[in-house]
Amino acid sequence: MERGVVSETPNLAARLQAIAKPDTTVIALGTRRLVANLFEYQVLGAIAAKGFNEPVHAFEVLRKSGVESRFEALPLRPEPAMRDDARIHPLALSDLARSRLLHRA
């Protein structure tokens, strides 16, 4: 008896593989958010994928981007207590975290 993997992730992978041209990589929006600007992409748009109620947003990975480090490529995420539109400079955030540690006693 042959056993297969059944869940949303392998189903999505199969659907994206089906639309990918030979020797290309196609990713969904969730992966695109995780890898941020580490690569350059071509937007393939929303595709109807069997097994999904909503269209799947697909991106073809073209090449590595020109950013020097993953820290430049990945967006800063504010602390959960902060408003979504608030931004803190990374050094200020480090100072803030250090201050909290020092003043806990």
pLDDT, one tens digit per residue, over 29-80 is: 999 988 888 899 999 989 888 888 888 999 999 999 888 777 777 766 554 4
**What pTM did the predictor assign?**
0.63
Outline where the chain has alpha helix (H).
8-19, 29-35, 70-73, 90-102
Q: Please give the C-alpha separations between residue 53 and each of 8, 37, 49, 71, in angstroms, as whole numbers.
A: 12, 28, 8, 35
Regarding the domain with residue range 1-74, which homologous superfamily does it belong to in the CATH classification? Nucleotide cyclase, GGDEF domain (3.30.70.1230)
In this prediction, residues 91-99 reach a mean pLDDT of 48
